Chains A and B, each alone.
Chain A
Amino acid sequence: MEGFTYVDIFATKGIEYILVISALVLFYPLWRLVNTPGGAVYELARSAATTIGDWFHMPEEKIYYHLGHTWAMPEGGEVVKVGIDDFAQKLVGKIDAIKFPEVGSDMVQGERAWSLVIGDKVIDMLSPVDGKVVAVNREISTSPEKINIDPYGAAWLVKVQVPRLSANLRNLLSGKLVRKWMDGVRESLMARMNYNLGQVLQDGGVLVEGIAKNLDREKWDEIVREYFLIT
């Protein structure tokens, strides 16, 4: 048929098809690029993501944790040992002194029990149990750095006589629940790290400085109080 031509309608169609297909094809690498941070930061973040799981030593047996990062360990009878967990000590770093409760005084689960003195800041912590203080660990007051070395052993803080022990322990976390809880804690910590990751991962930096100071030099104590549930 003379004079009949597709050209006008379809002149640009070929290129349009190629454009659409290339847009779809290009979208894949774009999506990858957008969703994976590049270069050094990515490597750091990835290594952090794998190691951060092992960052905090939180035994799941025999120890019961309070959400404010204190723990209780039954000693037999009504007496329990109480202390601060590994996350808490890594968060605050070097502790200068501890303000203990008096022997014979009462502690109430979920209420302020003792305070950590770090530099010029005093940070309260919550008691994991109800009861009467029967002993405090005087060794820790002379060398508080032991908390950073052995938070669940030599660095217990107080012994408490707990009349309603089983009821108290039911309010605390143990076993598999500990891991689930710490997964959340780790995630919230990861979300905060952002660009300070490098500093945090420096060798030894974590232990001396504490994670919180690496997150925010000015308001680190507010971060700590938030994790310790002190508001």
Chain B
Amino acid sequence: MHELGIAASILDVVSHEAERRPQARILKVGLRIGELAGVDRDALAFGWEVLTKDTQWDGLALEMEQIPRRQRCTRCGHEFPAPDFMTACPKCADPLTATIAGDELDIAYLEVEES
């Protein structure tokens, strides 16, 4: 259960961005969470709720975009989605493919209202 710590890290970034934009009201935080990031979205939502309750951030929405895993074949260069750990290249069957997406844990954007 490290999602509370992750929620706290998100809050740090949000607070920092809010200082940089004193005129703006932050309405939403957009996250990108890769399937390999090891983050439980429900636990993160819960941690976020606990952490922001009765603060100036109470009610601030977290939008989580789940990023599926994608691989690139190191032999033929083919790029493909890899659900259920099907990481071998579907084109040339090479098992040695590299992950190009799916381990993200990023704050992508903020939705703000400028006054």
- Please indicate whether A and B come from the same complex rather than being unrelated chains: no
Q: Which chain A residues have a beta carbon within 8 Å of chain B's beta carbons?
A: none
Q: Which chain B residues have a beta carbon within 8 Å of chain A's beta carbons?
A: none
